[in-house]
Amino acid sequence: MKWLQFLTPVSSLNWQEAHELVQQHPPGDVIFLDVRQPREYEASHLPGAKLIPLGELDNRLDELDREKSIVIY
Amino acid sequence: MMAGKGFKNLYNLSGGIKAWKKEVAVGPEDVGLHLFSGGTSPEEALITGFGLEAGLRDFYLSVQEKVINESTKNLFAMLADIEIRHQERLVQLYAESTGVDISREEFARKIAEPAMEGGLTTEEYLQLYQTDLESETEVLGMALAIEAQALDLYSRAAQQSENSQEFRTVLLQIAEEERSHMAKLSEYMDQHHNTL
């Protein structure tokens, strides 16, 4: 059993808090990660969001910088 | 899935995109990226950015000629003038990153061809937003949406790993400029809320 995954905290942010997080950090230090399907992304996404559909996430984690703040939706 | 895999700061966005109350962008992940593919120098990024601002200014001026309402005409003129200020800011960024001072007019000569901000064409924007061009509120809403598309484009281009780090850093700076343009437009809309 990978116990660590249950110990890493994942907090929730509301939209204002997420917006403030971007403003408080240097450009590019906060990543919005869109885990929906490409069609949903195409219809509407947060400006600059990176698309990795949930089904592909496990195999594409290396595309994300582990040092940055990542806001997932 | 990501927790416990070395990510330092992970957050869930409560309510997802439906709860997001600010502007959103549309289009597939790669729209407009051809404008920035294989970029190496900050100069290239700034020249493309300058071309996009020029394209948007041309767009506002061309629509200005078509509208009848005098106050909307003035609004389009104002939006077109704002693009000159955005261009000046890019020229300033150019001077900061290269140490070379250049005028806006000289910089303009470097543009291959003007494109629209956000990577879509004029017609695509008009179709996309279905804006009543005689309505000041709708026009400002459209301007804000175009800036959101621009922020989206620069941010996505900055994520392209085949571009050099220097190039990507400048793209992030331009993206920040777009963010501040959006804040100023929102402020303007709030100030003129009662008169629009």
- B148 within domain boundaries: yes
Do the Cβ atoms of B172 and B160 come closer than 8 Å?
Answer: no
Is residue B27 in some structural domain? no
Q: Are A28 and B171 in contact (CB under 8 A)?
A: no
CA distance B163 to B63: 35
CATH code: domain of residue A68? 3.40.250.10
* Domain membership flag for residue A37: yes
Which amino acid, B113? E
- Report the alpha-carbon distance of residue B196 to residue B190 in Å, rounded: 10
C-alpha closest to that of A46 among A13, A6, A19, A14: A19
Contacts of B177 (CB under 8 A, 6+ apart): B86, B89, B90, B93
Secondary structure letter of residue A32 according to DSSP: E
Place of tokens 């992970």: B10
Q: Which long-range contacts (CB under 8 A, 24 or more apart) does B191-194 make?
A: B192/B136
Range of the domain at A73: 31-73
Q: What number of other Cβ atoms are within 10 A of residue A41's Cβ?
A: 23
What backbone torsions phi and psi does residue A72 show, to the nearest 5 degrees? -100, 140
Q: Is the pLDDT of residue A8 over 70?
A: no
Query: What is the model's pLDDT at position A52?
Result: 97
- Mean confidence (pLDDT) of chain A: 90
Quote the ipTM score. 0.88
Give chain B's domain count: 1
Q: Nearest by CB to B24, from A14, A45, A57: name it.
A: A45
- Does B49 reside within a domain? yes
The total number of structural domains in chain A stands at 1
Residue B8 lies in a domain: no
Measured between CB atoms, which of A43, A50, A73 is closest to B13? Answer: A73
Q: Is residue B59 part of a domain?
A: yes
Q: Is residue A4 part of a domain?
A: no
CB burial readout A49-66, b (16+ within 10 A) else e: bbbbeeeebeeeeeebee
**% of chain A beyond a pLDDT of 70:** 88
pLDDT the model gives residue B55: 86
Q: Look at residue A3 and tell me if it is in a domain.
A: no
Would you write out chain B's pLDDT as a tens digit for each of its 196 residues? 787 788 889 999 999 999 999 999 999 999 888 888 877 788 888 888 888 888 889 889 988 998 999 999 999 999 999 999 999 989 998 888 888 888 888 888 887 655 666 666 767 777 777 889 899 889 999 899 999 999 999 999 998 877 788 888 999 999 999 999 999 899 988 887 666 6
Return the pLDDT at A60.
95
Expressed as residue numbers, the domain containing B90 is: 38-191
- Min Cα–Cα distance to chain A from B194, Å: 25
The pLDDT value given to residue B116:
64
Is B13 within a domain? no
Residues 14-53 of A with CB under 8 A from B: 14-16, 18-19, 21-22, 27-28, 32, 34, 36, 38, 41-51
B142: CATH: 1.20.1260.10
Residue A3 clears pLDDT 70, i.e. is over it: no
Could you tell me if B148 and B193 are in contact, meaning their C-beta atoms sit under 8 angstroms apart? Answer: no
